[in-house]
């Protein structure tokens, strides 16, 4: 990867679009204006975890046959029990009243991306054929940080179809060192020769 490509990754601006992006930008702006960005990020992260851990709550918020009013009441109870700030409570109420609870996890993810970008943190995702050890994750994070000049949040998962190596996505760029891709490239070059 050239130094020009690395600078392009590090300087990429964050562009939000679509419904989730608009809601995320709205809550980000409100939290920034209230000087509560980190608190709101922490609360929304907690809410995302609550939604992910409770299949019943997630199904409830996604159901098209349950009224927006009933969903609003249920989410108000969840928010109250979690003791979230008025800003987050009001925001979740607006999302619920507008019938958009089915998009709440996406909205939160978009908000967290905006928040990380604001704090100078880049998000990266690595897929590898085998689970990476803690030492490998630390080394990869360090290498990515040195390449882009910013702190990096790194999420990892496994994809056995890669056979070996890894695929790293950072910003809108992808670094593919997987054996699967190398074999596909070799096969393609062999077709051109023969």
How far apart, in whole angstroms, are the C-alpha atoms of residue 175 and residue 63?
38
Residues 56 and 33 in one domain: yes
Q: Rounded to an integer, what is the distance from CA 122 to the centroid of its chain?
A: 10
Residues 106 and 146 in one domain: no
Among 116, 146, 169, the domain-final residue is: 116
Say if CB 139 and CB 107 are below 8 A apart. Answer: no
Say if CB 85 and CB 111 are below 8 A apart. Answer: no
Residues 23 and 88 in one domain: yes
Q: What share of the chain is helix, strand, coil (3-state, %, to 5)?
A: 65, 15, 20
How far apart, in whole angstroms, are the C-alpha atoms of residue 22 and residue 98?
13
29-86 confidence digits (pLDDT tens): 999 999 999 999 999 999 999 998 988 888 888 888 988 889 889 899 999 999 999 9
Residues 40 and 100 in one domain: yes
Say if CB 149 and CB 122 are below 8 A apart. Answer: no
Domain with 18 in it: 8-116
List per-block mean pLDDT (blocks of 10 residues) for the chain, which spans 194 residues.
Answer: 45 61 92 94 94 88 87 91 94 91 91 86 84 89 83 84 85 79 82 72
Among 116, 133, 165, the domain-final residue is: 116
Among 96, 116, 136, the domain-final residue is: 116
Q: What is the reported pLDDT for 194?
A: 59
């Amino acid at each position: 990867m050239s130094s020009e490509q690395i600078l392009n990754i590090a300087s990429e601006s964050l562009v939000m679009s679509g419904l989730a992006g608009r809601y995320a930008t709205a809550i980000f702006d409100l939290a920034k204006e209230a000087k509560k960005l980190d608190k709101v990020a922490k609360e929304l992260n907690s809410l995302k975890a609550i939604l992910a851990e409770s299949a019943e709550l997630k199904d409830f918020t996604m159901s098209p046959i349950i009224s927006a009013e009933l969903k609003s009441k249920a989410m108000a109870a969840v928010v109250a029990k979690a003791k979230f700030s008025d800003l987050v409570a009001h925001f979740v109420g607006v999302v619920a009243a507008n019938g958009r609870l089915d998009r709440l996890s996406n909205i939160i993810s978009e908000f967290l991306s905006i928040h990380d970008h604001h704090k100078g943190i880049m998000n990266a995702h690595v897929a590898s054929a085998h689970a990476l050890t803690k030492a490998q994750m630390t080394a990869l994070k360090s290498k990515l940080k040195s390449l882009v000049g910013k702190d990096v949040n790194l999420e990892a998962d496994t994809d056995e179809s890669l056979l070996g190596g890894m695929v790293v996505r950072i910003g809108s760029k992808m670094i593919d060192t997987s054996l699967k891709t190398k074999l596909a490239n070799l096969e393609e070059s062999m077709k051109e020769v023969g």
